[in-house]
């Protein structure tokens, strides 16, 4: 089954509206002939500006998080319906920084993921192990638990709108990168979990990205691996030229 590679940028807490407009406008001509799907996950305050700047291009705009409730007393949170109204296509859930700094658990990641899917959005669900877990030989155990938790009660039909991003926590923002073979092997484990849950066809068709410091220098090697279907890009996504080089690997 043919899958379209997906390269998504996670801007994290960076870029004002003015900077967003400048970045997207610079990126548009650089990725216009991309063979892969191109997504920029921007801060909530930049969504409207990013969409306007990307209008008519092949760049899709995503958000970086979503709450599980439709509305209510959840100060500082954003609902899936709010994102849908802004015509966001993608949303991240379970990013390691959300887990590490803001108390996200497998359960809350699952709730957020289901809320986004219920609203018709596409979701990039992040999973990945800490350095201590990797050194203890628990990588397979951790990504298996996180994948099962994230996909709880999600139907085979809904799974078609899910992308999984494997992001080893120790490789995010550190400049460290898992070897291409290590990344491939771990993603193979994640795909095996999906196969057990949903069957071979779903496992083969789901796109699983690598999200640990992919950049212009290592993108080609990582993307040459059989199991890797794209990248979730952090720092390199904040520079149009660098992000475009990854997109056009």
* CA gap 117, 80 in Å, rounded: 9
Active-site residue numbers? 95, 167
Report how far apart, in Å, the C-alpha atoms of 113 and of each of 1, 5, 90, 179, 205 are. 25, 21, 11, 29, 19
Return the C-alpha torsion angle 12, 52, 241, 247, nearest 10: 80
* CA gap 175, 89 in Å, rounded: 29
- Structural Rg of the chain based on CA atoms: 17
* CA gap 236, 232 in Å, rounded: 10
β-pairing, 122-127 vs 162-166, is: parallel
Beta strands in 107-166 (DSSP E): 122-127, 162-166
Reduced to 3 states (helix: H, G, I; strand: E, B; else coil), residue 125 is strand
Residue pair 162/113 in contact (Cβ under 8 Å)? The answer is yes
Q: Which residues, in sequence order, are bridge partners of residue 37?
A: 6
Of 80, 60, 61, nearest to 69 by C-alpha is 80
* CA gap 1, 232 in Å, rounded: 22
């Amino acid at each position: 089954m043919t899958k379209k590679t997906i390269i998504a940028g996670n801007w994290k807490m960076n870029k004002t509206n003015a900077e967003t407009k400048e970045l997207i406008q610079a990126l548009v001509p650089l990725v216009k002939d991309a063979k892969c799907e191109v997504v920029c996950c921007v801060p909530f305050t930049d969504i409207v500006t990013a969409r306007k700047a990307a209008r008519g291009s092949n760049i899709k705009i995503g958000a970086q998080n979503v709450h599980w409730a439709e509305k209510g007393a959840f100060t500082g949170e954003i609902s899936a319906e709010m994102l849908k109204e802004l015509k966001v296509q993608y949303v991240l859930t379970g990013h390691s920084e959300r887990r590490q700094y803001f108390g996200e658990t497998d359960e809350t990641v699952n709730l957020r993921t289901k809320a986004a899917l219920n609203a018709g959005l596409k979701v990039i669900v992040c999973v990945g192990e800490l350095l201590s877990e990797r050194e203890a030989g628990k990588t397979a155990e951790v990504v298996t638990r996180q994948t099962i938790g994230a996909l709880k009660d999600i139907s085979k039909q809904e799974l078609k709108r899910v992308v999984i991003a494997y992001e080893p926590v120790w490789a995010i923002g550190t400049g460290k990168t898992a070897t291409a073979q290590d990344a491939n092997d771990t993603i193979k484990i994640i795909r095996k979990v999906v196969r057990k849950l949903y069957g071979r066809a779903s496992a083969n068709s789901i796109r699983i990205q690598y999200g640990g410091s992919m950049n212009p220098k290592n993108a080609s090697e990582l993307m040459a691996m059989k199991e890797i279907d794209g990248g979730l890009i952090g720092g390199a996504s904040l520079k149009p030229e660098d992000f475009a080089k990854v997109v056009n690997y």
